[in-house]
Structure 1
């Protein structure tokens, strides 16, 4: 990875400066993409047929830190859907600790599950722990376990449920360009331990670099599991280093902003001086910040509960000996203008497209 792609030392900055403003054509194209992503949820475009719910299944859910609102939201969706299919679920949470992952996977395997659902962990890094599941013929599906949706090459993961991570990143960066009028001074936060996170960060950086009037100040590598302890001092350091040049913060997850906002408030930074936009996942705190106008202006919210239902459906297809759907839900940008729609009144993005009833129909469950 080039120095311009990432600041390896947390105390070092990678700066790219330009002086020209973005052209009207650039801004118009960015506005078109952003407007489309802000539209209310479209009618259901996913599967409408499939096998009935396979009876009596027990699944293990391996979660990469339930303190992460996105991961928690998906697990909640899995539990809701599994109740409909009549399956039992056991959850294994590694609390973001790398040394616990393989141990917990071994514990999950010892419970003789019929299937394994991975939520938020990189499939390739888990490979030594996944191979024993594959050896026993236990199907595996996951959420945000690779850089692309679909089967994960080189692993036994049959389906990675996700929106398109690169499109999520592109929409997020374009929204910053639109909001700034084409001259955003940007810091990007990522967690390079995860391919999907680094892929999103690299895409956001590429979009900002392509904006002739924008400045990519730095890409900062902060482990999500350590964001509570790291982000306060990181935010103070960035404020001291860049001052008023830092006008936009982009991140691969809302959780970074949970711990940056108190520092900005303590520093007396006006809400309008620094805008925050996240390329996932649409946490409750993100919705609150957007609704109250507290620094965060957008999040590309994942349909977390829907994705939980999709994980159960993909697993059910594998149990029935059928292929997965490869369905990818469209990207949705939450801003102050639409934050109350599609579940926003409950501080989440829950598309009003009838997906629960559709899956119940597919599974032939009441």
Structure 2
């Protein structure tokens, strides 16, 4: 195995055949001349470069209801071991202190049998509002319905495949970037970095619709690249990454050898447990490139900064999303509409990692969102 891995090389030459993620329409590249393929590669580079821009200006709300005083909210977290979930809750707790609310956290620890129990415990705490962080709103509808029956508003983070209200559930607002755009940018970045010649394995978790949608979109983009190869979409539960990823990584290396050059995942956590296997095998960093379609964990920032296999993550503005959850809840408690605001996609790479909170190993946009929310809550 060691001898095989040391012989791996990254191939960086080939024409790209993929429609850019932000193009107005899709174009089939089958049979397109090389010159046109190069044009599409240039367009893909433009899309990726746009996603890499720093200091994205605030485009969210600037007015709204004053703070509803003294509210108590229950927060049910899918799994506090997940860096994305933890980052959102950190921002939520920070914002709750500013608006003058108390927040009680209930951790389901990624265990199916604990999700409904934590919702029941949250309901028993008699909250004014419920925040669901992670999880699948549709799968949890039975546990959410008692909140709706009592008139308790519900907002969530990454609880559905789209931002906004979640049809068929009591969730009034799912705070998220656009998951499909996150997936497109991630796959396009891999194609650009490989020069259109990536051998790809995608890691997903079919327990969550948003994860399935992201991995499906990444797979679709890779398939449109004529010189790329989608080797496999591997379904591994996020909650079992520590247990399963080392063995799965070794098995994939044995199966695909030097054909596997790019790993894409719906969350950085997969790479936390894959990288040690590559390191133990003395695999050179250039032989495997990793890109994540979320969430921008501390470990991902460290890998990108050190140049250890991972080159990019489409980092969520986790702290900002925590503040947005509090603002959306405040609007509901004031009997106003949610904003439906969706923050733009941002690709973190070694070139821009030092900006927008990167020195603190997180993506925290330098656009003044904290002051803007404070002014909204404090009123004129």
| Residues in 2 aligned to 1:179 and 1:215: alpha-carbon distance in whole angstroms | 14
Cα offset, 1:210, TM superposition? 0.5
CA contact (8 A) 1:26 1:211 kept: no
Q: Which residue in the other structure is 2:351 paired with?
A: 337
For structure 1, the residue ranges without an aligned partner over 5 or more in a row are 1-18
| Residues in 1 aligned to 2:341 and 2:237: alpha-carbon distance in whole angstroms | 29
Does residue 353 of the first structure (1) align with residue 367 of the second (2)? yes
| Residues in 2 aligned to 1:44 and 1:107: alpha-carbon distance in whole angstroms | 37
Does residue 76 of the first structure (1) align with residue 90 of the second (2)? yes
| Residues in 1 aligned to 2:123 and 2:227: alpha-carbon distance in whole angstroms | 53
Q: Which residue in the other structure is 1:38 paired with?
A: 52
Q: Which residue in the other structure is 1:257 paired with?
A: 271
Q: Which residue in the other structure is 2:9 paired with?
A: none
CA contact (8 A) 1:20 1:212 kept: no
Partner SS state of residue 249, structure 1: strand
Q: Which residue in the other structure is 1:208 paired with?
A: 222
Does residue 319 of the first structure (1) align with residue 319 of the second (2)? no
Q: Which residue in the other structure is 1:91 paired with?
A: 105
| Residues in 2 aligned to 1:41 and 1:66: alpha-carbon distance in whole angstroms | 28
Q: Which residue in the other structure is 2:307 paired with?
A: 293
Aligned pairs (5 A) from 1:204-243: 204-243=218-257
CA contact (8 A) 2:175 2:342 kept: yes
CA contact (8 A) 2:15 2:41 kept: no
Q: Deviations 1:54-113 (Å, cap 9, x if unpaired)?
A: 001000000010000000000001000000011011000000000011111011101110
CA contact (8 A) 1:115 1:315 kept: yes
Cα offset, 1:365, TM superposition? 7.6
Q: Which residue in the other structure is 1:303 paired with?
A: 317
| Residues in 1 aligned to 2:168 and 2:307: alpha-carbon distance in whole angstroms | 44
| Residues in 1 aligned to 2:134 and 2:354: alpha-carbon distance in whole angstroms | 27
CA contact (8 A) 2:14 2:196 kept: no
Cα offset, 1:21, TM superposition? 3.9
Does residue 106 of the first structure (1) align with residue 114 of the second (2)? no
| Residues in 2 aligned to 1:231 and 1:152: alpha-carbon distance in whole angstroms | 32
Please provide the CA RMSD for this pair: 1.2
Cα offset, 1:20, TM superposition? 7.4
Partner SS state of residue 274, structure 2: helix
Does residue 53 of the first structure (1) align with residue 74 of the second (2)? no
CA contact (8 A) 1:94 1:104 kept: yes
| Residues in 2 aligned to 1:244 and 1:30: alpha-carbon distance in whole angstroms | 25
Aligned length: 348
CA contact (8 A) 1:21 1:214 kept: no
Q: Deviations 1:20-49 (Å, cap 9, x if unpaired)?
A: 742212211210110000001221100000
Cα offset, 1:224, TM superposition? 0.1
